[in-house]
Amino acid sequence: MAYSLGDGLRPGCLADASDEAQFAELDTLGELGRRARAAGVQTIIEGPGHVPFDQIEANMKRQQAVCDGAPFYVLGPVVTDVFPGHDHITSAMGALAAAYHGASFLCYVTPAEHLGLPTPQDVKAGCITYKIAAHAADVARKLPGARDWDDAMADARGSLDWKRQFELAFDGDAARTIRHRDLKEEGDYCSMCGRQWCAVRISREVTEKIVAQQEGGRSSPST
C-alpha cells in the first residue's frame, strides 16, 4: 500500500501559485513522507493545480528535492484561468511540462472543470487530452520504446496505409470519421492537398520510378 499525501493549500488560481503557504505545506509533506518511509510505507505526494507555465519546472524540482524524489502527483497544472469550458486543454499544457520535468502521475481534467459535474463525453475528452500529454512527455524524455508508436505511424503515413493508420491511432474511430467525412474511399491521398498535389503520393511515385529504372538497368544485358 502507499499513502497519497494530499495538499490542501495547493494553488486554486495563478495568483496563488508558488506562494509561501504552498511551499510550507510541501515541506510538511516531505517530512510526512520521510516518516512514512521510515515505517516501511510508500508515499505519493500530491501537487499544485494552477501554476503559470514558467513556474512549473521550478515547482517540480523543488518537490523532488524536498520530498527526496517521492513520486509527484499533479492536477494539470492549469496554466491560465480564463478558459472555462476548455480547461482540459489549459491543464494538459501544464501536465506536459510537469511530466517532462519529473512528475510521475497526471490527474486528468475535463472541460467541465470549474463549471459542473462532467458527462461521460467530458471524461472521454479529458482522458484523451491527458493521454496526449503523457505520451508526448514520454517521447520527450526519451523513455525506452516511447517513440516506437510514433515511428510506426510515420511509416504508415509514408506508405499511405490508411488501415494501418487507423489501427495505430489512439482514437481510430475519430480519425476514420474525419477521413471519411470528405473522402469515402481510402485512396492514395488525403483531402488536404488533393490527389494532384499530394506530396506523399508524388514522392512515392518518383521513388518507385527511380527504383524501377535502377532495377531495369541492372537486368539489361551489357553491350
- Tell me which of 84, 118, 140 is where a domain ends: 140
CA 167: distance to chain centroid?
A: 19
Q: Among residues 95, 122, 140, which one ends one of the domains?
A: 140
Same domain assignment for residues 136 and 175? no
Q: Judge if 111 and 77 occupy the same domain.
A: yes
Q: Do residues 29 and 136 share a domain?
A: yes
| Residue 213, pLDDT score | 85
pLDDT at 76: 94
pLDDT tens column, 9-42: 989 999 999 999 999 999 999 999 999 999 999 9
d(CA 129, CA 142): 20
Do the beta carbons of residue 108 and residue 129 sit within 8 Å?
A: yes
Q: Are residues 153 and 127 in the same domain?
A: no
pLDDT truncated to tens, each residue of the chain (223 aa)? 899 999 999 899 999 999 999 999 999 999 999 999 999 999 999 999 999 999 999 999 999 999 999 999 999 999 999 999 999 999 999 999 999 999 999 999 999 999 999 999 999 999 999 999 999 999 999 999 999 999 999 999 888 888 999 999 999 999 999 888 877 666 677 667 777 777 877 888 888 888 888 887 765 555 4
- Shared-domain flag, residues 135 and 72: yes
Where a domain ends, among 95, 116, 140? 140
- Per-residue pLDDT at 207: 83
pLDDT of 159 reads 84
What is the count of structural domains for the chain?
A: 2
H/E stretch holding 178 reads helix 172-182
Contact 86, 111 (CB under 8 A): yes
Asked whether the beta carbons of 156 and 148 are under 8 A apart, the reply is no
Does one domain contain both 41 and 93? yes
The domain in which residue 175 lies consists of: 148-219
Whole-number pLDDT of residue 185:
64
Check residue 149 and give its pLDDT.
97
Query: Are 66 and 124 contained in the same domain?
Result: yes
131 and 203 assigned to the same domain: no
Question: 132 and 46 in one domain?
Answer: yes
The per-residue pLDDT for 45 is 97
Residue 157, CB-side half-sphere exposure with 13 Å CA sphere: 13
